[in-house]
Amino acid sequence: MKTKSVQYGNFYWQDGYGLFSVNPAELETVVAYIDKQHEHHQKLTFQEEYMKFLVKYGVKYDERYLWD
């Protein structure tokens, strides 16, 4: 049986997504980042930030397959 969390009722995936693991010690930092995402993406686009993550963590990618 699926249940919908009221706390995350406005959370949804877009057409594509990335997945990164989170160090439990950094959980509060990640939650704060998610809470301020809308504000944050007014300065840096999702695409710019996503590519910075890929570079920062040494993830190999082909940009032809990143975006719709």
- Tens-place pLDDT, residues 13-68: 566 666 778 899 999 998 998 888 888 778 888 889 889 989 998 999 888 888 87
Domain-located, residue 46: yes
Q: Buried b vs exposed e over 19-52: b needs ≥16 C-beta within 10 Å? A: eeeeeeeeeeeeeeeeeeeeeeeeeeeeeeebee
Domain-located, residue 4: no
Domain-located, residue 16: no
Domain-located, residue 10: no
- Our count of domains for the chain comes to 1
pTM exceeds 0.75 for this model: no
> What domain range includes position 60?
24-65
